Structure 1
């Protein structure tokens, strides 16, 4: 199984672009901060992750939801390599909602 659910803040939004197949693609950078329990001890977790959305989510759905820099979101998706030759991971978002408790 490859599923990722992440509460995060949008810290960067790249201009909309298109894949060679003509599919709209929007790249964003997400910042996550939380406290997790590991081996019975609390641990502060902070990270930034590159993420992409494709298709309708990239061109219309995000704008309708009011996505902008500083938005707090709950993103659901999966991890994949940036490209065939890369080992770098990118989150592919296939569902997104505004975290109204944060905004």
Structure 2
């Protein structure tokens, strides 16, 4: 089974870098996507906001540098916690989009 998501987004905001009780760096952020997509030969505007999280070295690398920027990211979806089923994108790769 596959669970991969690839999006080009604007990082609307990011929280300050925090650490888990085990010492793992965590960066939470909110992403906004806009595009035009074709489905069943019809074009439509697509827009969504998604919560995302980066962990470990990637979180440290991105902290304080992504808010307001457009990035291309890939990762996987998971629920926020055992008690909270809201989906969160766990980011594994980020590339800044120029322009």
Q: 2: CA distance between counterparts of 1:3 and 1:21?
A: 26
Cα distance in 2 for partners of 1:13, 1:7 equals 16
Task: Quote the Cα distance in structure 2 between the aligned partners of 1:90 and 1:21.
Answer: 21
2:60 match: secondary structure? helix
Report the TM-score, using the length of structure 1 for normalisation: 0.89
Q: Distance in 2 between matches of 1:47 and 1:71?
A: 16
- TM-score when normalising by structure 2: 0.93
Task: Report the CA distance between 1:22 and its aligned residue.
Answer: 1.2
Deviation (angstroms), 1:25: 0.1
Give the CA RMSD over aligned residues: 1.3
Q: Which residue of 1 aligns with 2:10?
A: 9
Match of 1:68 in 2: 66
How far apart are the structure 2 equivalents of 1:77 and 1:69? 18
Q: In structure 2, what is the Cα distance between the partners aligned to 1:93 and 1:68?
A: 13
Aligned residue pairs: how many?
98
Runs of 4+ in 1 over 2 A off after TM superposition: 66-69
> Structure 1, residues 11-47: CA drift from partner, whole Å, max 9, x if none?
0110111112210000010000001111210010011
User: Which ranges of structure 1 fall in alignment gaps of 5 or more residues?
Assistant: none
